[in-house]
A and B are shown apart, each in its own frame.
Chain A
């Protein structure tokens, strides 16, 4: 599903060149539940941005679903983001003046789905998240956990191949964090690839594969699947 080869990325700020990713190799198969860990400055956010086609890379190659992601026009990038990817953010990033259903339905709007149809689909997804009764509520009227579940529903509605989550539990208390992680596992069982960036040990331990990033390369990785299921 995801194939990174010798990926390099550096940022230039004034005269300083900051080499963030230094020849990263990574392959993630379809249906994996992966967490990426690392201290701040290890390049994990940069990696996630590149995986999410939100940022470009300098060298190497990135294949998503078999397609090489390089030199994309904005329009093309928008298309791939819309069809292949779902995003979940630490700060939820819901649109404040839209209610829960409208927020969830937004990706379908950009796919050109009619209003009636997409709101119906959005309601189904909210139902799955147990938020049907909050469908008409504005984000400001929801708790952190509820907001994140709305955001997850939004990430899922376009039936993406990959969901990218950036510190999805960073703003939640531990009980809610566990709920959200359970949700991710459920989604993952449907075959959607999940990539979660986190710096919390207990969160990453709930994934099947942990990738440790340090100074722009993979320091080590280990499989926790056996530990969980054996």
Chain B
């Protein structure tokens, strides 16, 4: 294989037929180029969506209140379902295999937050400590709301980087007091949330909010994570919640509007399946394109063999074995395919690298062709080169010297 003569002979024929070799190679290069672009774009889409998902924990389940749409045990439809702290306690007690359970209460009406002369309007969200995991926030300094804050109804607040920038500028903020609706809260931590919208808020303890702002024991929704539960397990939990809550809140179990459950495990898995599907689809298209290229190479090699009939005849007359002839044709085919394909690969990856920084879309991030794709593509190229060369090589090996050498 690493025989200089063989390579010399291959290069000699390639040099003699530059245009033809180029056109053949082009079809293969184009195939690989398209495959890389398609795979890269698919990856970009996938990355975008994954980042969207990672703004919250991907294994989280969120429960929202609704309004009944079906009559149930004499109760009229149109009844609003209300959540209270009891639902939190109940869920914590009754629902198995859950972690980071957190109630949530948004403080509406006024949303004024101020520090000295600086002020702004931000979402005020009252939570349990589990929200740190649920929202997938990154603590930059200090800490998040903890259990003691909730138990003692402390007036403490964790602020986002956006809020800090607006209120404190460069000033120190830990331990300082900010006013939320004119009530002072001590700043205990700074966090960052990759979701822009979620970065426009401050978190306070749910018990504090109930005492200071809303009164009563109402909460708006509940959320928790499911560990490493599979999609089936998460759906079981979801069903369990629905049936338990339907008894607790007296609504028809099949009433989809009384209770909304947002199962991220299920959604995430759905997207993963979707992307596996897209990837498969892209490979099919890509391989289809490459097959067209292979047919091209195969065709050209057949013509090459036909043109070289006499030469092959001479070689056989002076002692070339069929194996050496097959090797010659096969190697040429693999060389053209592999080289052209590599060019396509480099161009495709190059283009992706070039456009990648200029794409700033929420659902399309970092289009890329990783090492694994490159390796698969390389293997694909060599295999396809061999396939393309196989038929012509067999034909070449079966050339009879007497026919090839007949003077005409």
Q: Which A residues are within 8 Å of any B CB, using their own CB?
A: 49, 52, 54-55, 74-75, 78-79, 81-83, 87, 89-91, 93-98, 106-107, 109-111, 115, 154, 158
- Alpha-carbon gap, A106 to B317, bound state (A): 11
Q: Is the CB of B402 within 8 A of A93?
A: no
For B321, give its contact among A78, A96, A115 (CB under 8 Å): A78
Closest Cβ of chain B: how far from A108's Cβ, in Å?
9
- Alpha-carbon gap, A94 to B314, bound state (A): 8
Write out the residue numbers on chain B whose beta carbons fall within 8 Å of the beta carbon of A82. 318-319
Q: Is the CB of A158 within 8 A of B16?
A: no
17 contacts between A and B (CB under 8 A): A54-B400, A54-B401, A54-B402, A54-B405, A78-B316, A78-B322, A81-B316, A81-B318, A81-B319, A87-B317, A95-B311, A97-B13, A106-B315, A107-B319, A109-B5, A111-B319, A115-B4
- Alpha-carbon gap, A81 to B313, bound state (A): 13
For B314, give its contact among A78, A79, A93, A109 (CB under 8 Å): A93
Q: Is the CB of B322 within 8 A of A75?
A: yes
Closest Cβ of chain A: how far from B13's Cβ, in Å?
7
Write out the residue numbers on chain B whose beta carbons fall within 8 Å of the beta carbon of A74. 321-322, 397
Query: What count of chain B residues pass the 8 Å CB interface test?
Result: 26
Most chain B Cβ neighbours within 10 Å, of A75, A78, A115, A158 = A78
Q: Is the CB of B402 within 8 A of A55?
A: yes
Write out the residue numbers on chain A whose beta carbons fall within 8 Å of the beta carbon of B16. 97
Write out the residue numbers on chain B whose beta carbons fall within 8 Å of the beta carbon of A78. 316, 319-322
Q: Is the CB of B402 within 8 A of A110?
A: no
Cβ proximity bits B84-102 to A, threshold 8 Å, 1 near / 0 not: 0000000000000000000
Instruction: Please give me the residue from chain A that is nearest to B310 by CB atom.
Output: A93
The 9 nearest A-B residue pairs measured at CB: A82-B319, A110-B319, A97-B12, A78-B321, A107-B318, A54-B402, A74-B322, A93-B314, A54-B401
Write out the residue numbers on chain A whose beta carbons fall within 8 Å of the beta carbon of B322. 74-75, 78
Q: Is the CB of B321 within 8 A of A110?
A: yes
Write out the residue numbers on chain B whose beta carbons fall within 8 Å of the beta carbon of A154. 318
Given A55-B402, A97-B9, 13 further pairs, Cβ under 8 A: A54-B317, A54-B401, A79-B321, A81-B316, A83-B319, A89-B405, A89-B407, A90-B407, A91-B407, A93-B313, A96-B311, A97-B16, A110-B318
- The answer to whether B74 has its CB under 8 Å from any CB of chain A is no
- Alpha-carbon gap, A75 to B324, bound state (A): 10
Residues of chain B in range 283-333 having any CB-CB distance to chain A below 8 Å: 310-311, 313-324
Cβ proximity bits B318-354 to A, threshold 8 Å, 1 near / 0 not: 1111111000000000000000000000000000000
For B324, give its contact among A49, A97, A107, A110 (CB under 8 Å): A110
Cβ proximity bits B8-27 to A, threshold 8 Å, 1 near / 0 not: 01001100100000000000
- Alpha-carbon gap, A55 to B406, bound state (A): 13
Closest Cβ of chain A: how far from B213's Cβ, in Å?
90
Q: Is the CB of B317 within 8 A of A81?
A: yes
- Alpha-carbon gap, A45 to B397, bound state (A): 23
Write out the residue numbers on chain A whose beta carbons fall within 8 Å of the beta carbon of B311. 95-96
Q: Is the CB of B319 within 8 A of A158?
A: yes
Closest Cβ of chain A: how far from B275's Cβ, in Å?
51
- Alpha-carbon gap, A115 to B310, bound state (A): 24
Instruction: Please give me the residue from chain A that is nearest to B316 by CB atom.
Output: A78
Whether A115 touches B5, Cβ cut-off 8 Å, given contacts A79-B319, A158-B319, is yes
Write out the residue numbers on chain B whose beta carbons fall within 8 Å of the beta carbon of A111. 319
Write out the residue numbers on chain A whose beta carbons fall within 8 Å of the beta carbon of B400. 54-55
Write out the residue numbers on chain B whose beta carbons fall within 8 Å of the beta carbon of A87. 317-318
- Alpha-carbon gap, A96 to B323, bound state (A): 22
- Alpha-carbon gap, A111 to B321, bound state (A): 10
Q: Is the CB of B402 within 8 A of A75?
A: no
- Alpha-carbon gap, A55 to B403, bound state (A): 10
Write out the residue numbers on chain A whose beta carbons fall within 8 Å of the beta carbon of B318. 81-82, 87, 106-107, 110, 154, 158
Closest Cβ of chain A: how far from B248's Cβ, in Å?
84
Cβ proximity bits B386-408 to A, threshold 8 Å, 1 near / 0 not: 00000000000100111001010
Residues of chain B in range 153-207 having any CB-CB distance to chain A below 8 Å: none
Cβ proximity bits B64-106 to A, threshold 8 Å, 1 near / 0 not: 0000000000000000000000000000000000000000000
